[in-house]
Amino acid sequence: MLTELLESGYAKDKDLNCAEQILQGANEAYGLGLDEDHLKVAAGFGGGMAIESVCGALTAAIMVLGRLYVQERAHESSRIKDLTQELFELYSKEMGSIHCAPLKENYRTPEGKCQTVILKAAEILDGIVKRETI
C-alpha cells in the first residue's frame, strides 16, 4: 500500500516535504479522492510545522486517518482520538520520538533525507488502515 508506493520512489521528482509525501501518497494508495488543492493542506506541516515540533509525516498521517474514519466531525466518537494515540505510541516506540528535531538528528541523511522517518510513518499507518478496513 502506502509504504510500497513510497519505497518505489513515488513523487521523488516533486521534491515534497515529509507531510506532503504522506498525504499525496496516501491519496493515491488509499483512494482518498483529494484534489490538488486539498493536498496543499499538508504543505506547512513539513519539518515539524517548520519549528521541528511533531513530525510532519505523523501530522499528515493524522489527516489521512481523519479522512478515512471521521464521518462528520471528530467528536462523534473517540475513534480518531484512539487511532491518533495509537499512531503516536507505535511511532515513538519504534523511532524514539514523535518530534522532528531528534528524528532528524538520528535518522536524516544527506542522500536519503528523512526517508527513513517517512517510511516508518507510512508502515505504521498502513498497519492501522489494513486493520481498520477489514
Q: What are 80-113's pLDDT values in tens digits?
A: 999 999 999 999 999 999 999 999 999 999 999 9
10-28: per-residue pLDDT in tens? 988 899 999 999 999 999 9
Q: Where are the domains of the chain?
A: 13-132
- What is the value of pTM for the model shown? 0.95
Which DSSP string corresponds to 71-116?
A: SS-GGG-SHHHHHHHHHHHHHHHHHS-SBHHHHHHHH-BTTTBTHH
What tens digit of pLDDT does each residue of 24-74 get?
999 999 999 999 999 999 999 999 999 999 999 999 999 999 999 999 999
* Interacting residues of 55 by C-beta distance below 8 A, sequence separation 6+: 18, 48, 91, 98, 99, 100, 103, 117, 121
